[in-house]
Amino acid sequence: MSQKEKIKQYFQEHNERITREVVALTSRLVKEKTVNVVSAKLPEHPYLKFRGEEYRCGNIVKEFLNNANIPYQEFARMEGRPNIIGTLGKNESGKRLLMPGHMDIVPAGDGWDTDPFETYEKDGKLFGRGTLDDKGPLASILVAGKIMKELGLADELKGQLMLAALSDEEAEDPDGIDYGIGYLLEENLIDPTYSIIPDIGENMVNIDIAEKGRTVFKIIARGKQAHGSTPERGVNAVYMMARLVKEIEKMKFDYTPHPVLGHPTLNLGEINGGAAPNIVPGSCEITLDIRTVPGMTREKVIQQLTNLTQKVQGEFEVSVMSWNEPHAIDPKNEVVDAIQKNAREVLGFEPQCFGMGGGTYAKTLNVAGVTSVGWGPGDDEMFHVANEFVDIKQLVDFAMMTCLVAVDLLN
Ligand SMILES: [Zn+2]
């Protein structure tokens, strides 16, 4: 029997046991409040000593890998924020497939019907913060590794399958210091050939091969303060900004539509101005989240925003708060081929390539030269919302696909 036949048969015969194992592991991970917020927001989460506290999930991951007899390495830029990488296979072919899941989560937020950190099952779905993003998919990957080991296939792999539980995906401090994938790549601690990132939802029907650039711009309107009883002596920066905001709402970027990514987007997400009712506001600022497509440079976007400010009366200052480039990879690559072929055979459909406005590890990895795509279980509308859930059958299917794709890519 071929390796892939063995995998398919095993999943068929042990479906119930595998399902229980994935659900149990996900539920244990969800119990740990590995909430990652920027440092400025830490006081809102008094149960946290530091951002993320991913070691809480890291301990569970290490216990699981130990029990499964899978060797692992641990890398941490800071104690308490580990990255754990279990390795299967021999590295004879020189090919390494990285399957990462992140251990941190966004805050629970309001609106939950039940305790966000205690999972429950209903209609084939598993509810709880992180069941989809990203603890459920992480559990799938770990269980897939354990099954490869049980079947004796792990040692037959000519390349290496890297099962990674990573820190620090959900929030980035203004200092830009990364404790997760960025740290591993900057320090040359890992060198994968391929990567599949199960952090996009899309119910496994779409493969993310392109992501827009994520940028944040700030615009400040500069007026002149005065006493609120004599507004004629000041220049009201809020009025100035109001005029500019009208222009921004109508703004059209100068760009060429991208075949996969389409059009850029702009969101005016914050506005701040004024200090008290009896003061004419001397300044007012807005921040814009702009998602770019290839061809839109930093200079061009600054120029367009500056041109816009010149259309309205007043003094404005445009600056870039953060900038990252869009990326798009050729859809004809081994990773996409392996996913499509196995999905066709086992899941009965062929996932299609598409581009996203959101960002995942795939961008960081592609920029570092690793052929990476986003692909995984769950519904994309369930990210970062109350009553987050994941489809349990999809978690099990994803575990099986991890095994099958690894066999194809690494042998
Ligand atoms: Zn995520």
Q: What is the pLDDT of residues 365-403, one digit of tens each?
A: 998 999 999 999 999 999 999 999 999 999 999 999 999
Cα(171) to ligand 1 centroid in Å equals 10
The pLDDT value given to residue 172: 87
Cα(95) to ligand 1 centroid in Å equals 26
The residue behind tokens 């993320």 is: 52
Note whether 211 and 285 are within 8 A (CB).
Answer: no
Cα(52) to ligand 1 centroid in Å equals 13
Together in a domain, 163 and 253 = no
Cα(102) to ligand 1 centroid in Å equals 7
Note whether 318 and 305 are within 8 A (CB).
Answer: yes
The pLDDT value given to residue 324: 87
Cα(315) to ligand 1 centroid in Å equals 40
Cα(390) to ligand 1 centroid in Å equals 13
CA-nearest of 329, 260, 330, 319 to 290 is 319
Cα(40) to ligand 1 centroid in Å equals 21
Cα–Cα distance measured from residue 185 to residue 179, given in angstroms and rounded to the nearest whole number: 10
Together in a domain, 15 and 73 = yes
Cα(29) to ligand 1 centroid in Å equals 14
Cα(361) to ligand 1 centroid in Å equals 9
The pLDDT value given to residue 1: 87
Compute, in degrees rounded to 10, the torsion defined by CA atoms 309, 312, 313, 315.
Answer: -10
Note whether 225 and 280 are within 8 A (CB).
Answer: yes
The pTM assigned to this predicted structure is 0.90
Cα–Cα distance measured from residue 20 to residue 368, given in angstroms and rounded to the nearest whole number: 37
Cα–Cα distance measured from residue 277 to residue 299, given in angstroms and rounded to the nearest whole number: 38
- Ramachandran assignment for 318, one of left (phi > 0), alpha (psi -120 to 50 degrees), beta (any other): beta
The pLDDT value given to residue 111: 97
Cα(180) to ligand 1 centroid in Å equals 12
Q: Identify the domain containing residue 23 by its residue range.
A: 3-211+328-410
Together in a domain, 31 and 151 = yes
CA-nearest of 388, 385, 404, 367 to 375 is 404
CA atoms within 13 A on the CB side of 49: 7
Task: Give the residue from 275, 292, 323 where a domain finishes.
Answer: 323
Together in a domain, 233 and 182 = no
The residue ranges of the chain whose pLDDT is under 50 are none
Cα–Cα distance measured from residue 174 to residue 123, given in angstroms and rounded to the nearest whole number: 41
Together in a domain, 93 and 165 = yes
Residue 366, domain CATH? 3.40.630.10
Cα(97) to ligand 1 centroid in Å equals 19
Cα(33) to ligand 1 centroid in Å equals 15
Q: What is the pLDDT of residues 46-79, one digit of tens each?
A: 999 999 999 999 999 999 999 999 999 999 999 9
Together in a domain, 217 and 186 = no
Structurally, the chain folds into a number of domains equal to: 2
Together in a domain, 80 and 134 = yes
Cα(34) to ligand 1 centroid in Å equals 13
Together in a domain, 272 and 295 = yes
Cα(169) to ligand 1 centroid in Å equals 7
Helix/strand/coil for 259 = coil
Cα(183) to ligand 1 centroid in Å equals 17
Task: Give the residue from 323, 339, 362 where a domain finishes.
Answer: 323
Task: Give the residue from 291, 323, 355 where a domain finishes.
Answer: 323
Cα(104) to ligand 1 centroid in Å equals 8
Residue 313, domain CATH? 3.30.70.360
